[in-house]
Structure 1
Amino acid sequence: MLDLLKAVVLGLIQGLTEFLPISSSAHLRIFPELFGWGDPGAAFTAVIQIGTELAVLIYFRHDIWRIGSTWVRSLVKPEYRGHFDARMGWFIILGSLPIVVLGVLLKDVIERDFRNLWVIATALIVLGIVLGIADRVSADDKRIEHLTLRAAVLMGAAQALALIPGVSRSGATISMGRLLGFEREAATRYAFLLAIPAVVGAGLFELKEIPNGDNTYGWGPTIVATVVSFVVGYAAIAWLLRYVSTRSYTPFVVYRIALGLATLVLLSTGVLSASG
Protein backbone atom coordinates (compact mmCIF):
# COMPACT_ATOMS: atom_id res chain seq x y z
CA MET A 1 0.00 0.00 0.00
CA LEU A 2 2.84 2.37 0.85
CA ASP A 3 4.48 1.71 -2.51
CA LEU A 4 1.22 2.63 -4.27
CA LEU A 5 1.05 5.91 -2.34
CA LYS A 6 4.63 6.66 -3.32
CA ALA A 7 3.77 5.81 -6.92
CA VAL A 8 0.91 8.34 -6.91
CA VAL A 9 3.23 11.06 -5.59
CA LEU A 10 5.92 10.22 -8.14
CA GLY A 11 3.32 10.16 -10.92
CA LEU A 12 2.18 13.63 -9.88
CA ILE A 13 5.76 14.88 -9.91
CA GLN A 14 6.36 13.37 -13.35
CA GLY A 15 3.14 14.77 -14.80
CA LEU A 16 3.74 18.25 -13.41
CA THR A 17 7.39 18.53 -14.43
CA GLU A 18 7.79 16.58 -17.70
CA PHE A 19 6.73 19.40 -20.00
CA LEU A 20 7.99 22.34 -17.97
CA PRO A 21 11.65 23.17 -18.68
CA ILE A 22 12.68 22.16 -15.15
CA SER A 23 13.66 18.48 -15.64
CA SER A 24 11.27 15.76 -14.52
CA SER A 25 14.13 13.29 -14.11
CA ALA A 26 15.85 15.65 -11.66
CA HIS A 27 12.66 15.94 -9.60
CA LEU A 28 12.20 12.15 -9.62
CA ARG A 29 15.73 11.84 -8.28
CA ILE A 30 15.80 14.71 -5.76
CA PHE A 31 12.39 14.50 -4.08
CA PRO A 32 12.31 10.73 -3.40
CA GLU A 33 15.74 11.14 -1.83
CA LEU A 34 14.45 14.06 0.25
CA PHE A 35 11.45 11.98 1.37
CA GLY A 36 13.76 9.14 2.38
CA TRP A 37 12.50 6.84 -0.38
CA GLY A 38 15.80 6.47 -2.20
CA ASP A 39 16.39 6.50 -5.95
CA PRO A 40 13.42 4.93 -7.80
CA GLY A 41 15.82 3.94 -10.59
CA ALA A 42 16.37 4.85 -14.21
CA ALA A 43 14.02 2.11 -15.43
CA PHE A 44 11.09 3.35 -13.32
CA THR A 45 11.75 6.93 -14.43
CA ALA A 46 11.87 5.98 -18.12
CA VAL A 47 8.75 3.81 -18.02
CA ILE A 48 6.44 6.28 -16.26
CA GLN A 49 7.43 8.89 -18.85
CA ILE A 50 5.38 6.81 -21.29
CA GLY A 51 2.34 8.16 -19.46
CA THR A 52 3.21 11.76 -20.17
CA GLU A 53 4.12 10.96 -23.77
CA LEU A 54 0.73 9.30 -24.19
CA ALA A 55 -0.69 12.67 -23.15
CA VAL A 56 1.36 14.27 -25.95
CA LEU A 57 0.10 11.72 -28.48
CA ILE A 58 -3.51 12.47 -27.58
CA TYR A 59 -3.13 16.24 -27.26
CA PHE A 60 -1.30 16.55 -30.59
CA ARG A 61 -3.16 13.68 -32.28
CA HIS A 62 -4.30 15.82 -35.21
CA ASP A 63 -0.81 17.21 -35.81
CA ILE A 64 0.75 13.76 -35.47
CA TRP A 65 -1.74 12.16 -37.85
CA ARG A 66 -1.28 14.95 -40.39
CA ILE A 67 2.53 14.80 -40.20
CA GLY A 68 2.66 11.00 -40.21
CA SER A 69 0.21 10.48 -43.07
CA THR A 70 1.84 13.16 -45.22
CA TRP A 71 5.30 11.75 -44.55
CA VAL A 72 4.17 8.23 -45.56
CA ARG A 73 2.56 9.56 -48.75
CA SER A 74 5.75 11.45 -49.60
CA LEU A 75 7.67 8.18 -49.68
CA VAL A 76 5.70 7.04 -52.74
CA LYS A 77 4.21 10.23 -54.17
CA PRO A 78 6.75 12.93 -55.17
CA GLU A 79 4.14 15.70 -55.09
CA TYR A 80 4.00 15.42 -51.28
CA ARG A 81 7.75 15.75 -50.74
CA GLY A 82 7.74 19.52 -50.71
CA HIS A 83 4.95 19.69 -48.14
CA PHE A 84 5.99 21.05 -44.75
CA ASP A 85 4.37 18.14 -42.89
CA ALA A 86 6.43 15.66 -44.90
CA ARG A 87 9.59 17.60 -44.04
CA MET A 88 8.49 17.75 -40.40
CA GLY A 89 8.34 13.96 -40.36
CA TRP A 90 11.97 13.82 -41.47
CA PHE A 91 12.91 16.58 -39.01
CA ILE A 92 11.53 14.55 -36.09
CA ILE A 93 13.20 11.33 -37.27
CA LEU A 94 16.62 12.91 -37.87
CA GLY A 95 16.39 15.14 -34.81
CA SER A 96 15.78 12.04 -32.66
CA LEU A 97 18.94 10.25 -33.78
CA PRO A 98 21.42 12.00 -31.41
CA ILE A 99 19.55 11.07 -28.21
CA VAL A 100 18.82 7.52 -29.45
CA VAL A 101 22.44 6.79 -30.39
CA LEU A 102 23.95 8.37 -27.28
CA GLY A 103 21.27 6.80 -25.06
CA VAL A 104 22.27 3.32 -26.22
CA LEU A 105 26.03 3.98 -26.10
CA LEU A 106 25.96 5.66 -22.67
CA LYS A 107 23.29 3.50 -21.01
CA ASP A 108 25.49 2.34 -18.11
CA VAL A 109 26.93 5.81 -17.49
CA ILE A 110 23.44 7.36 -17.55
CA GLU A 111 22.06 4.88 -15.02
CA ARG A 112 25.09 5.07 -12.73
CA ASP A 113 27.18 8.26 -12.92
CA PHE A 114 24.65 10.77 -14.29
CA ARG A 115 22.19 10.10 -11.46
CA ASN A 116 24.61 11.53 -8.91
CA LEU A 117 22.90 14.48 -7.22
CA TRP A 118 25.98 16.71 -7.54
CA VAL A 119 25.74 16.30 -11.31
CA ILE A 120 21.98 16.87 -11.33
CA ALA A 121 22.11 20.01 -9.17
CA THR A 122 24.86 21.49 -11.33
CA ALA A 123 22.90 20.70 -14.51
CA LEU A 124 19.81 22.42 -13.08
CA ILE A 125 21.75 25.62 -12.46
CA VAL A 126 23.85 25.70 -15.65
CA LEU A 127 21.02 24.87 -18.05
CA GLY A 128 18.73 27.25 -16.17
CA ILE A 129 21.17 30.06 -16.91
CA VAL A 130 21.40 28.93 -20.55
CA LEU A 131 17.60 28.94 -20.87
CA GLY A 132 17.42 32.43 -19.39
CA ILE A 133 20.04 33.81 -21.76
CA ALA A 134 18.53 32.08 -24.79
CA ASP A 135 15.07 33.41 -24.00
CA ARG A 136 16.37 36.95 -23.53
CA VAL A 137 18.58 37.20 -26.66
CA SER A 138 16.27 35.34 -29.07
CA ALA A 139 15.30 37.14 -32.26
CA ASP A 140 11.82 35.70 -31.63
CA ASP A 141 10.80 35.99 -35.30
CA LYS A 142 10.46 32.38 -36.53
CA ARG A 143 7.32 30.29 -36.46
CA ILE A 144 7.34 26.50 -36.60
CA GLU A 145 6.79 26.71 -40.38
CA HIS A 146 10.29 28.23 -40.62
CA LEU A 147 11.90 25.07 -39.26
CA THR A 148 14.78 23.77 -41.40
CA LEU A 149 16.80 20.55 -41.35
CA ARG A 150 19.73 22.39 -39.76
CA ALA A 151 17.56 23.80 -36.97
CA ALA A 152 15.84 20.44 -36.42
CA VAL A 153 19.17 18.61 -36.04
CA LEU A 154 20.60 21.30 -33.75
CA MET A 155 17.56 21.07 -31.50
CA GLY A 156 17.86 17.29 -31.61
CA ALA A 157 21.49 17.54 -30.52
CA ALA A 158 20.41 19.82 -27.67
CA GLN A 159 17.72 17.33 -26.65
CA ALA A 160 20.42 14.67 -26.29
CA LEU A 161 21.88 16.66 -23.38
CA ALA A 162 18.79 15.60 -21.42
CA LEU A 163 20.39 12.19 -20.97
CA ILE A 164 21.88 13.97 -17.97
CA PRO A 165 19.11 14.31 -15.36
CA GLY A 166 18.72 17.97 -14.48
CA VAL A 167 19.14 19.26 -18.02
CA SER A 168 15.46 18.89 -19.05
CA ARG A 169 14.52 17.51 -22.44
CA SER A 170 12.12 20.34 -23.20
CA GLY A 171 14.42 22.93 -21.61
CA ALA A 172 17.42 21.99 -23.75
CA THR A 173 15.39 21.82 -26.97
CA ILE A 174 13.60 25.10 -26.22
CA SER A 175 16.89 26.82 -25.37
CA MET A 176 18.34 25.87 -28.74
CA GLY A 177 15.12 26.87 -30.49
CA ARG A 178 15.16 30.27 -28.82
CA LEU A 179 18.84 30.78 -29.73
CA LEU A 180 17.89 30.01 -33.34
CA GLY A 181 15.22 32.70 -33.20
CA PHE A 182 12.04 30.65 -32.85
CA GLU A 183 9.00 31.99 -31.01
CA ARG A 184 8.36 30.44 -27.60
CA GLU A 185 5.23 28.61 -28.72
CA ALA A 186 7.00 27.22 -31.81
CA ALA A 187 10.06 26.05 -29.87
CA THR A 188 7.85 24.47 -27.20
CA ARG A 189 5.58 22.71 -29.71
CA TYR A 190 8.53 21.22 -31.60
CA ALA A 191 10.14 20.15 -28.32
CA PHE A 192 6.99 18.16 -27.48
CA LEU A 193 6.84 16.48 -30.90
CA LEU A 194 10.57 15.76 -31.00
CA ALA A 195 10.45 14.04 -27.60
CA ILE A 196 7.91 11.41 -28.67
CA PRO A 197 10.26 8.86 -30.35
CA ALA A 198 12.98 9.22 -27.70
CA VAL A 199 10.74 8.97 -24.63
CA VAL A 200 8.49 6.19 -25.90
CA GLY A 201 11.52 4.27 -27.17
CA ALA A 202 13.38 4.63 -23.86
CA GLY A 203 10.31 3.57 -21.89
CA LEU A 204 9.74 0.46 -23.99
CA PHE A 205 13.44 -0.37 -23.85
CA GLU A 206 13.41 -0.22 -20.04
CA LEU A 207 10.20 -2.23 -19.57
CA LYS A 208 12.18 -5.43 -19.13
CA GLU A 209 14.03 -3.89 -16.17
CA ILE A 210 10.90 -3.31 -14.05
CA PRO A 211 10.65 -6.83 -12.55
CA ASN A 212 14.36 -7.30 -11.92
CA GLY A 213 16.30 -4.13 -12.69
CA ASP A 214 17.60 -1.26 -10.56
CA ASN A 215 14.09 0.10 -9.90
CA THR A 216 12.60 0.24 -6.43
CA TYR A 217 9.06 -0.61 -7.52
CA GLY A 218 7.36 -3.52 -9.28
CA TRP A 219 4.69 -3.54 -11.96
CA GLY A 220 1.75 -2.40 -9.80
CA PRO A 221 3.22 0.90 -8.54
CA THR A 222 4.86 1.55 -11.92
CA ILE A 223 1.51 1.28 -13.72
CA VAL A 224 -0.18 3.51 -11.13
CA ALA A 225 2.54 6.17 -11.49
CA THR A 226 2.28 5.99 -15.28
CA VAL A 227 -1.51 6.52 -15.24
CA VAL A 228 -1.24 9.45 -12.83
CA SER A 229 1.52 11.05 -14.91
CA PHE A 230 -0.69 10.79 -18.00
CA VAL A 231 -3.66 12.57 -16.40
CA VAL A 232 -1.60 15.35 -14.83
CA GLY A 233 0.66 15.67 -17.87
CA TYR A 234 -2.25 16.25 -20.24
CA ALA A 235 -3.38 19.25 -18.19
CA ALA A 236 0.20 20.56 -18.00
CA ILE A 237 0.61 20.59 -21.80
CA ALA A 238 -2.43 22.80 -22.35
CA TRP A 239 -1.40 25.16 -19.56
CA LEU A 240 2.20 25.55 -20.76
CA LEU A 241 1.28 26.27 -24.38
CA ARG A 242 -1.10 29.01 -23.22
CA TYR A 243 1.48 30.37 -20.80
CA VAL A 244 4.40 30.68 -23.24
CA SER A 245 2.27 32.42 -25.85
CA THR A 246 2.35 35.58 -23.72
CA ARG A 247 5.04 35.18 -21.05
CA SER A 248 8.74 34.44 -20.72
CA TYR A 249 10.53 31.42 -19.20
CA THR A 250 11.97 33.56 -16.37
CA PRO A 251 9.99 31.87 -13.53
CA PHE A 252 11.31 28.47 -14.64
CA VAL A 253 14.87 29.82 -14.79
CA VAL A 254 14.60 31.18 -11.24
CA TYR A 255 13.07 27.92 -10.00
CA ARG A 256 15.79 25.79 -11.62
CA ILE A 257 18.59 27.82 -10.10
CA ALA A 258 16.92 27.88 -6.67
CA LEU A 259 16.32 24.11 -6.68
CA GLY A 260 19.88 23.45 -7.86
CA LEU A 261 21.39 25.67 -5.16
CA ALA A 262 19.13 24.17 -2.47
CA THR A 263 20.18 20.67 -3.53
CA LEU A 264 23.87 21.62 -3.35
CA VAL A 265 23.35 22.99 0.17
CA LEU A 266 21.52 19.83 1.29
CA LEU A 267 24.30 17.70 -0.18
CA SER A 268 26.99 19.77 1.51
CA THR A 269 25.27 19.47 4.88
CA GLY A 270 24.70 15.74 4.53
CA VAL A 271 20.91 15.94 4.43
CA LEU A 272 20.91 14.33 0.99
CA SER A 273 23.10 11.48 -0.23
CA ALA A 274 24.59 12.09 -3.69
CA SER A 275 24.37 8.49 -4.82
CA GLY A 276 21.31 7.38 -2.91
Structure 2
Amino acid sequence: MLAWLIVTAYVPVAVAGVALDKVFRTTLGQHVPTAIFFALNGIALFVTEQLRRGGTARRRAVAVAARGEEQLSAEEQSDLRITRLTMRQAVTIGAAQIIALLPGISRTGSTISAGIFKGLNHEDSARCALLHAAPVIGGAALLKLPPLLGALGNGLRGPLLAGSVAAFVAAYLAPRYLARHFEHRALIPFAICCSVVGLGSLAYFAVA
Protein backbone atom coordinates (compact mmCIF):
# COMPACT_ATOMS: atom_id res chain seq x y z
CA MET A 1 0.00 0.00 0.00
CA LEU A 2 2.81 2.44 0.89
CA ALA A 3 4.51 1.82 -2.46
CA TRP A 4 1.28 2.54 -4.36
CA LEU A 5 0.78 5.79 -2.44
CA ILE A 6 4.30 6.91 -3.37
CA VAL A 7 3.97 5.95 -7.03
CA THR A 8 0.54 7.60 -7.37
CA ALA A 9 1.76 10.77 -5.68
CA TYR A 10 4.65 10.90 -8.16
CA VAL A 11 2.41 11.23 -11.22
CA PRO A 12 1.48 14.96 -10.88
CA VAL A 13 5.07 16.17 -10.45
CA ALA A 14 6.28 13.93 -13.30
CA VAL A 15 3.71 15.38 -15.71
CA ALA A 16 4.44 18.95 -14.62
CA GLY A 17 8.20 18.41 -14.80
CA VAL A 18 8.10 17.17 -18.39
CA ALA A 19 5.55 19.75 -19.57
CA LEU A 20 7.16 22.80 -17.98
CA ASP A 21 10.83 21.81 -18.03
CA LYS A 22 11.92 24.56 -20.43
CA VAL A 23 10.10 27.31 -18.51
CA PHE A 24 11.70 26.27 -15.23
CA ARG A 25 15.18 26.09 -16.78
CA THR A 26 15.13 29.32 -18.78
CA THR A 27 12.61 31.98 -17.81
CA LEU A 28 12.60 31.18 -14.09
CA GLY A 29 16.11 29.78 -13.82
CA GLN A 30 17.87 33.15 -13.59
CA HIS A 31 19.67 34.49 -10.51
CA VAL A 32 17.06 37.00 -9.36
CA PRO A 33 13.98 34.72 -9.67
CA THR A 34 15.89 31.96 -7.87
CA ALA A 35 16.78 34.29 -5.00
CA ILE A 36 13.16 35.43 -4.74
CA PHE A 37 11.86 31.86 -4.66
CA PHE A 38 14.47 30.92 -2.04
CA ALA A 39 13.26 33.72 0.23
CA LEU A 40 9.62 32.78 -0.40
CA ASN A 41 10.50 29.19 0.52
CA GLY A 42 11.63 30.38 3.94
CA ILE A 43 8.51 32.48 4.42
CA ALA A 44 6.30 29.52 3.47
CA LEU A 45 8.03 27.29 6.02
CA PHE A 46 7.59 29.95 8.70
CA VAL A 47 3.89 30.40 7.91
CA THR A 48 3.35 26.63 7.93
CA GLU A 49 4.88 26.35 11.40
CA GLN A 50 2.87 29.26 12.78
CA LEU A 51 -0.41 27.94 11.40
CA ARG A 52 0.37 24.47 12.77
CA ARG A 53 0.94 25.93 16.22
CA GLY A 54 -2.27 27.88 15.91
CA GLY A 55 -4.22 24.71 15.23
CA THR A 56 -5.01 25.33 11.57
CA ALA A 57 -3.32 22.14 10.43
CA ARG A 58 -5.10 18.95 11.42
CA ARG A 59 -2.88 16.58 13.38
CA ARG A 60 -3.00 12.87 12.65
CA ALA A 61 -2.91 10.80 15.85
CA VAL A 62 0.55 9.38 16.44
CA ALA A 63 -0.51 6.74 18.94
CA VAL A 64 -0.48 3.21 17.60
CA ALA A 65 -3.93 1.69 17.50
CA ALA A 66 -3.71 -1.92 16.49
CA ARG A 67 -2.61 -4.62 18.87
CA GLY A 68 1.07 -5.47 18.60
CA GLU A 69 2.06 -2.33 16.69
CA GLU A 70 3.99 -1.09 19.71
CA GLN A 71 6.56 -3.77 18.88
CA LEU A 72 7.36 -2.14 15.55
CA SER A 73 10.35 0.14 15.04
CA ALA A 74 9.84 3.91 14.87
CA GLU A 75 10.29 3.80 11.08
CA GLU A 76 7.74 1.01 10.69
CA GLN A 77 5.22 2.84 12.87
CA SER A 78 5.74 5.98 10.79
CA ASP A 79 5.20 4.02 7.56
CA LEU A 80 2.03 2.58 9.02
CA ARG A 81 0.66 6.00 9.86
CA ILE A 82 1.52 7.26 6.37
CA THR A 83 -0.39 4.35 4.78
CA ARG A 84 -3.49 5.53 6.64
CA LEU A 85 -3.57 8.59 4.41
CA THR A 86 -6.28 8.51 1.78
CA MET A 87 -5.21 8.35 -1.85
CA ARG A 88 -6.38 11.94 -2.31
CA GLN A 89 -4.28 13.13 0.61
CA ALA A 90 -1.24 11.26 -0.70
CA VAL A 91 -1.63 12.75 -4.18
CA THR A 92 -1.98 16.24 -2.70
CA ILE A 93 1.25 15.81 -0.74
CA GLY A 94 3.02 14.46 -3.80
CA ALA A 95 1.68 17.28 -5.97
CA ALA A 96 3.26 19.79 -3.59
CA GLN A 97 6.56 18.77 -5.16
CA ILE A 98 5.48 20.63 -8.31
CA ILE A 99 6.19 23.87 -6.45
CA ALA A 100 9.73 22.62 -5.87
CA LEU A 101 10.32 22.58 -9.62
CA LEU A 102 10.72 26.33 -9.21
CA PRO A 103 14.41 27.12 -8.66
CA GLY A 104 15.11 27.92 -5.01
CA ILE A 105 12.10 26.04 -3.62
CA SER A 106 12.89 23.06 -1.41
CA ARG A 107 11.28 19.78 -2.47
CA THR A 108 11.58 18.42 1.05
CA GLY A 109 10.25 21.62 2.58
CA SER A 110 7.21 21.80 0.31
CA THR A 111 6.40 18.13 0.91
CA ILE A 112 6.79 18.44 4.69
CA SER A 113 4.52 21.50 4.70
CA ALA A 114 1.88 19.66 2.67
CA GLY A 115 2.13 16.66 4.97
CA ILE A 116 1.60 18.84 8.04
CA PHE A 117 -1.50 20.42 6.49
CA LYS A 118 -2.83 16.95 5.71
CA GLY A 119 -2.56 15.94 9.36
CA LEU A 120 0.87 14.33 9.66
CA ASN A 121 3.28 15.34 12.41
CA HIS A 122 6.77 16.68 11.70
CA GLU A 123 8.47 13.29 11.86
CA ASP A 124 5.98 11.53 9.57
CA SER A 125 5.94 14.46 7.14
CA ALA A 126 9.74 14.35 6.91
CA ARG A 127 9.71 10.60 6.33
CA CYS A 128 7.00 10.99 3.69
CA ALA A 129 9.13 13.63 1.94
CA LEU A 130 12.16 11.34 1.94
CA LEU A 131 10.14 8.41 0.60
CA HIS A 132 8.87 10.63 -2.22
CA ALA A 133 12.43 11.62 -3.11
CA ALA A 134 13.43 8.35 -4.80
CA PRO A 135 10.99 8.37 -7.74
CA VAL A 136 11.33 12.14 -8.30
CA ILE A 137 15.14 12.14 -8.28
CA GLY A 138 15.25 8.91 -10.28
CA GLY A 139 12.87 10.30 -12.89
CA ALA A 140 14.88 13.52 -13.17
CA ALA A 141 18.07 11.50 -13.63
CA LEU A 142 16.53 9.46 -16.44
CA LEU A 143 15.42 12.67 -18.15
CA LYS A 144 18.65 14.66 -17.75
CA LEU A 145 21.51 12.16 -17.78
CA PRO A 146 21.35 10.96 -21.43
CA PRO A 147 22.03 14.44 -22.91
CA LEU A 148 24.84 15.03 -20.40
CA LEU A 149 26.51 11.78 -21.40
CA GLY A 150 26.67 13.04 -24.98
CA ALA A 151 28.19 16.16 -26.52
CA LEU A 152 26.23 18.48 -24.23
CA GLY A 153 28.09 17.06 -21.27
CA ASN A 154 31.56 17.99 -22.49
CA GLY A 155 33.34 19.80 -19.69
CA LEU A 156 30.53 19.09 -17.23
CA ARG A 157 31.15 15.47 -16.29
CA GLY A 158 33.65 16.28 -13.54
CA PRO A 159 31.38 18.74 -11.72
CA LEU A 160 28.46 16.38 -12.35
CA LEU A 161 30.28 13.50 -10.69
CA ALA A 162 31.35 15.66 -7.74
CA GLY A 163 27.80 16.95 -7.31
CA SER A 164 26.38 13.42 -7.50
CA VAL A 165 28.74 12.19 -4.78
CA ALA A 166 27.88 15.16 -2.56
CA ALA A 167 24.16 14.57 -3.15
CA PHE A 168 24.52 10.88 -2.28
CA VAL A 169 26.28 11.67 1.00
CA ALA A 170 23.68 14.32 1.88
CA ALA A 171 20.82 11.95 1.03
CA TYR A 172 22.37 9.28 3.25
CA LEU A 173 22.78 11.61 6.23
CA ALA A 174 19.60 13.69 5.85
CA PRO A 175 17.07 11.13 7.19
CA ARG A 176 19.08 10.63 10.37
CA TYR A 177 19.48 14.35 10.92
CA LEU A 178 15.83 15.19 10.25
CA ALA A 179 14.60 12.38 12.48
CA ARG A 180 16.63 13.74 15.40
CA HIS A 181 15.85 17.36 14.59
CA PHE A 182 12.09 16.93 14.57
CA GLU A 183 12.08 15.06 17.88
CA HIS A 184 12.39 18.39 19.68
CA ARG A 185 12.49 21.12 17.01
CA ALA A 186 10.40 22.49 14.15
CA LEU A 187 10.70 24.23 10.78
CA ILE A 188 11.75 27.64 12.09
CA PRO A 189 15.56 27.21 11.71
CA PHE A 190 15.13 26.17 8.07
CA ALA A 191 12.72 29.08 7.49
CA ILE A 192 15.20 31.60 8.88
CA CYS A 193 18.10 30.16 6.89
CA CYS A 194 16.20 30.18 3.57
CA SER A 195 14.84 33.68 4.12
CA VAL A 196 18.21 35.19 5.04
CA VAL A 197 20.09 33.50 2.18
CA GLY A 198 17.34 34.32 -0.31
CA LEU A 199 17.08 38.00 0.63
CA GLY A 200 20.87 38.32 0.78
CA SER A 201 21.22 36.76 -2.66
CA LEU A 202 18.48 39.00 -4.03
CA ALA A 203 20.25 42.09 -2.72
CA TYR A 204 23.52 40.93 -4.21
CA PHE A 205 22.19 40.08 -7.67
CA ALA A 206 19.96 43.14 -7.81
CA VAL A 207 22.98 45.45 -7.65
CA ALA A 208 25.39 43.22 -9.57
Specify the code of the residue in structure 2 equivalent to 1:123.
F
Alpha-carbon deviations, 1:189-226, whole Å to 9, x = none?
0011112111111112111121333x674334322331
Aligned identity (percent) is 32
Contact 2:127–2:175 under 8 Å retained in 1: no
Report the Cα offset of residue 228 of structure 1. 3.0
Q: Residues 218 and 116 from structure 1, CA distance in 2 versus in 1: closer, same or farther, beyond 3 angstroms?
A: closer
1:17-32, aligned counterparts within 5 Å?
Answer: none
1:141 aligns with 2:59: yes
Query: 1:181 aligns to what?
Result: 119
Q: Alignment partner for residue 112 of structure 1, among 6, 21, 26? A: 26
Specify the code of the residue in structure 1 equivalent to 2:24.
I
Report the Cα offset of residue 227 of structure 1. 2.1
Distance 1:140 1:253 in 2: 21
Alpha-carbon deviations, 1:87-143, whole Å to 9, x = none?
x22211111011100111112112211211222112122222121121222246324
Contact 2:59–2:116 under 8 Å retained in 1: no
Query: 1:172 aligns to what?
Result: 110
1:102 aligns with 2:20: no
1:66-77, aligned counterparts within 5 Å?
Answer: none
Moved more, 216-225 or 128-137: 216-225
1:208 aligns with 2:146: yes
Distance 2:159 2:47 in 1: 39
Distance 1:159 1:225 in 2: 21
What stretches of structure 1 move > 4 A for 4+ residues in a row? none
1:162 aligns with 2:100: yes
Q: Residues 218 and 121 from structure 1, CA distance in 2 versus in 1: closer, same or farther, beyond 3 angstroms?
A: closer
RMSD: 1.8
1:121 aligns with 2:35: yes
Distance 1:206 1:147 in 2: 32
Contact 1:140–1:184 under 8 Å retained in 2: no
1:1-276, aligned counterparts within 5 Å?
Answer: 86=1, 88-138=2-52, 139=57, 141-142=59-60, 143=62, 144=78, 145=81, 146-210=84-148, 211-213=150-152, 217-270=155-208
Query: 2:65 aligns to what?
Result: none
Query: 2:70 aligns to what?
Result: none
Q: Residues 194 and 265 from structure 1, CA distance in 2 versus in 1: closer, same or farther, beyond 3 angstroms?
A: same
SS in 2 for 1:193: helix
Specify the code of the residue in structure 2 equivalent to 1:212.
A
Q: Residues 216 and 187 from structure 1, CA distance in 2 versus in 1: closer, same or farther, beyond 3 angstroms?
A: farther
